């Protein structure tokens, strides 16, 4: 049986297993999920990204062969999560911090090498898709999956499917302008959300205000007893509220899932949500904010979910 996209969903009446690969800068991880989303097998190998693009393709191929030795022949379609995104017009990769991928037609190269259909999405989209399907967002119609770490990104899932658009940037709220002429961002613009609420941004702000070099975890842990840490965390939460309220005003998701290291600052769930409520275009805030449920596996599970 095939679905409307022509993807094989069942063979002989049995639902297919889903295959997913998470391509990271240091490791390539692969899973095969059963039809209920349970991990049947999981494997990882080093990316060896310094050896170039063709070598990375070969590493992915070796990983697929490894998985085949454990569970049998590869699926007709494999999902791949990457740090960057696919430029929708050219089909070439962009914004990858594994820079040898940029400008390359990764999906079509992998499709020919592996002899399967390949579906690619960025790692924040994979996180959102996994959490919406089998994690904290299960049962919610519209889910905004947020990654707040060294960068700020996210993905939007509506009724079980990722929102995608002609620019390949859906969910990229980290580069919305929070303050015109604000902090400079690596993207070349100023005032981006990422330069106010990512881990490094908050640490930089605290250092500039106090001269103290503390990690975000340390600043958060001291917020109750140290006035300067309290001020920094309130600054972060206020900016988080401004930024998230803008996304809620447009998408109005039922659930927001806060992933990534900086997303675990506990004050986001109190002062942060209060700040969202102050800025959202409604008298009350009915959106549910949840921690992720799938841990480190969300990326590779989401990649597998792309497969069908």
Q: Which of 21, 78, 101, 185 binds Zn ion (CB under 5 A)?
A: 185
Nearer to Zn ion, 186 or 281 (CB): 186
Q: Which of 21, 93, 192, 229 binds Zn ion (CB under 5 A)?
A: 192
| Cβ neighbour number for residue 55 with a 10 Å cutoff | 13
Give dist(CA 93, CA 21) in Å, integer.
16
- On whether the CB atoms of residues 285 and 252 are closer than 8 A, the answer is no
Q: Whole-number minimum distance, CB 257 to Zn ion, in Å?
A: 22
Nearer to Zn ion, 136 or 192 (CB): 192
Residue 197 binds to Zn ion (criterion: CB under 5 A): no
Contacts with Zn ion in 162-181 (CB under 5 A)?
175
What string marks each residue from 121 to 160 as x (binds Zn ion by CB under 5 A) or -? ----------------------------------------
Q: Which of 1, 11, 46, 187 binds Zn ion (CB under 5 A)?
A: 187
Both tokens assigned to 305: 């979910």
Q: Angle of helix 227-251 relative to helix 199-210, nearest 10 degrees?
A: 140
- 161-162 β-sheet, strand order: 161-162, 152-158, 142-148, 255-259, 288-290
Tell me 176's DSSP state.
S
Contacts with Zn ion in 1-40 (CB under 5 A)?
none
Question: Distances in Å between the alpha carbon of 24 and those of 46, 59, 82, 119, 223?
Answer: 9, 12, 7, 16, 34
Nearer to Zn ion, 175 or 206 (CB): 175
Q: Report the alpha-carbon angle 45-51-53, nearest 5.
A: 90
Q: Whole-number minimum distance, CB 299 to Zn ion, in Å?
A: 22
Q: Whole-number minimum distance, CB 186 to Zn ion, in Å?
A: 7
Give dist(CA 270, CA 255) in Å, integer.
16
Report the interface residues with Zn ion, using CB under 5 A: 175, 185, 187, 192
């Amino acid at each position: 049986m095939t679905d409307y996209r022509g993807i094989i969903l069942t063979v002989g009446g049995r639902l297919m297993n889903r295959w997913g690969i998470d391509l990271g800068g240091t490791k390539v991880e692969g899973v095969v999920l059963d039809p209920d989303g349970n991990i049947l097998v999981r494997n990882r190998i080093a990316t060896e990204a310094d050896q170039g693009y063709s070598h990375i393709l070969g590493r992915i191929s070796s990983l697929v062969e490894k998985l085949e030795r454990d569970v049998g022949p590869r699926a007709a379609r494999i999902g791949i999560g990457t740090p960057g995104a696919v430029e929708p017009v050219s089909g070439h990769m962009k914004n990858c911090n594994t820079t040898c991928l940029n400008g390359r037609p990764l999906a079509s190269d992998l499709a020919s090498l592996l002899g399967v259909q390949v579906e690619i999405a960025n790692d924040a989209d994979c996180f959102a898709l996994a959490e919406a399907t089998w994690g904290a967002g299960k049962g919610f119609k519209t889910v905004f999956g947020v990654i707040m770490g060294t960068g700020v990104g996210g993905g939007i899932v509506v009724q079980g499917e990722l929102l995608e658009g002609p620019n390949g940037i859906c969910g990229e709220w980290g580069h919305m302008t929070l303050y015109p002429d604000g902090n400079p961002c690596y993207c070349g613009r100023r005032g981006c959300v990422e330069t106010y609420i990512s881990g490094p941004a908050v640490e930089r702000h605290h250092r500039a205000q106090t001269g103290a070099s503390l990690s975000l975890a340390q600043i958060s842990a001291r917020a109750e007893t140290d006035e300067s840490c309290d001020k920094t965390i309130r600054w972060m939460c206020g900016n988080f509220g401004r930024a998230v309220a803008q996304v809620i005003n447009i998408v109005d998701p039922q659930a927001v899932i806060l992933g990534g290291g900086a997303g675990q600052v506990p004050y986001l769930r109190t002062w942060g949500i209060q700040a969202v409520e102050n800025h959202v275009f409604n008298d009350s805030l009915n959106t549910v904010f949840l921690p992720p449920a799938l841990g480190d596996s969300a990326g590779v599970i989401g990649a597998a979910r792309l497969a069908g």
